[in-house]
Structure 1
Amino acid sequence: MTAWRKSSYSGANGGNCVEATVLGAAQWRKSSHSGHDAGDCIEIAPDIPDFVPVRDSKHPQGPILTFQAQAWTAFVEALKAD
């Protein structure tokens, strides 16, 4: 379960705010196409509503890219079609 946190700079009426989540608690899943040597693979955190965070499994503390869930699904389906 992902916990979203509203910015402390949000007004009482909820305007001009940003919500953020701490992905450190995310449940990451490695690609099923990952080899035994763990090379060239990614991990995703699939349980975040509307977005799919993606990271390099060899550098889990490195940057995380986020994609809209719809775009990620289209990307994966296009890969499967090839």
Structure 2
Amino acid sequence: MGRIKLLMVKKTAKTLLQGEHSFNTDFDHNKRLLQDTMPSKPIRNKVAGYISRLMKAQNKPIKVKPKPVEEEVL
């Protein structure tokens, strides 16, 4: 089980994703992009991790299970 993120972290991450930043799935890259905007290291790490998680979920293909074919009994 994962940890529950603060609402502040979620709102900040979603606001930053709508901006003109070039975030991707790499945590270290996202952390470097946030270095100028966020002086607090713990908050910056949490937001960068949450952005990485959102980007991974966004790029993940949706799996569709095929429905089993029912055979008719004669």
- Choose between structure 1 and 2: higher strand proportion: 1
What is the TM-score normalised by the length of structure 2? 0.24
Please say which structure displays the higher CA radius of gyration: 2
- Choose between structure 1 and 2: higher helix proportion: 2
Relative contact order higher in (CA < 8 Å, ≥ 6 apart): 2
